[in-house]
Amino acid sequence: MLEEKVMIDFLKKFDETPFLVKINGNKYEIGDGAPSFTVNFKRTIPLSKLAASTSLALGEAYMDGDLEIEGDLYEALDYFLGQMGKFSTDRHALKKLMFTSTAKKNQKKEVSSHYDIGNDFYKLWLDDTLSYSCGYFLHEDDTLYQAQVNKVDYILEKLYLKEGMTLLDIGCGWGFLLIEAAKKYKIKGTGITLSKEQYRECSRRIAEEGLEDHLHVELMDYRDLPQSGLTFDRVVSVGMVEHVGRDNYQLFIDCVNKVMNPGGLFLLHFISALQEYPGDPWIKKYIFPGGMIPSLREMLSCIAEDQFHTLGVENLRMHYNRTLLCWEKNFREHVDEVRKMFDERFVRMWDMYLSSCAATFHNGVIDLHQILMTKGINNNLPLVKWY
């Protein structure tokens, strides 16, 4: 009973939105007003766990079935995660989890742990483009597929591509952007990835489209680009810099700089934060090992060091919220198929991941930025935004 009281006292600080807690037949109302959601605990969580990492303690309790949300998971998380600033995190105790090695071998292992789960798994809930990044909803009735097509079209327009140009896609995923660039602009493109599954599927799609003379993909670390002997007129990176680690942001930009032709355009699309912080322990342990979200200001600072001139910065935060809600809907519609691939703990983990990320974008805990820049001065671009 004492442990129950201690847990409830800890949860009382999250009182900005009223909610109800059920445990051992007891009910506790937290916050003022009618409860917006209900949390049903099958067992108490020790204060030591909640204090070490509120995120890990609650996330693992949900994964293990010791915590249930009565009603819509996303809506409950949307109310609760607006108060993430009140979460407790013992950074010293979690140092090994929060700050992992940025060595090539380890980062390849970390990337593989997420992106090599299996192409069949991702095909269940991504759209037909296999785009695993923020869509761009131009119209209220855009489908997820249309939003991903919109996003790629928008990026390619920003890059001001011309026939015969060379394009590098760092973290090319399953290749949809490169394929669209080759088909619509007749460019020569190279994609790099650390994921064997993505490499395999991307190569297959390029062959299927008959674009082997225009495109190729390589299993390559971005740090090997300067020694590749390749140079490019345009560079794009979508959702990849979040994996390089805070200590390597400048190195990443340096590597891009070394393979770009003077005056070239570089578009960097990434999840960002208002301030620098090491990240969420639960996400780091179970979803993106080694992941680190840059702040916009530190990325702009790295860019300036290499004499990149910023042409525009755009925030697509709410587009990512909607993208994630689409993924979550698709995931739930195919959850029985997911259960045939993985255990129930994985299913609950992935459900929590998609819903919680949608909530953090909605609450502005994280943003999504696109930065468009030139390497040095380029006075040959249109005076008015061409895109």
Q: What is the pLDDT of residue 58?
A: 97
Most distant pair of Cα atoms in the chain: their distance: 72
Per-residue pLDDT tens digits for 326-354? 999 999 999 999 999 999 999 999 999 99
Contacts of 385 (CB under 8 A, 6+ apart): 312
Residue 166: phi and psi, rounded to 5, are -105, 135
In the chain, which residues have pLDDT < 70?
A: none
Report, as residue numbers or ranges, the catalytic residues.
357
Which tokens go with 204?
A: 């297959």
Per-residue pLDDT tens digits for 249-269? 999 999 999 999 999 999 999
In angstroms, rounded to a whole number, what is the distance separating the alpha carbons of residues 8 and 273? 31
Q: What is the pLDDT of residue 1?
A: 79
One-character DSSP codes across 201-261: HHHHHHHHTT-TTTEEEEE--GGGGGGS---EEEEEEES-GGGS-GGGHHHHHHHHHHHEE
Q: Is the distance from CB of 175 to CB of 192 less than 8 angstroms?
A: no
CB atoms within 10 A of CB 141: 6
One-character DSSP codes across 302-338: HHHHTTEEEEEEEE-HHHHHHHHHHHHHHHHHTHHHH
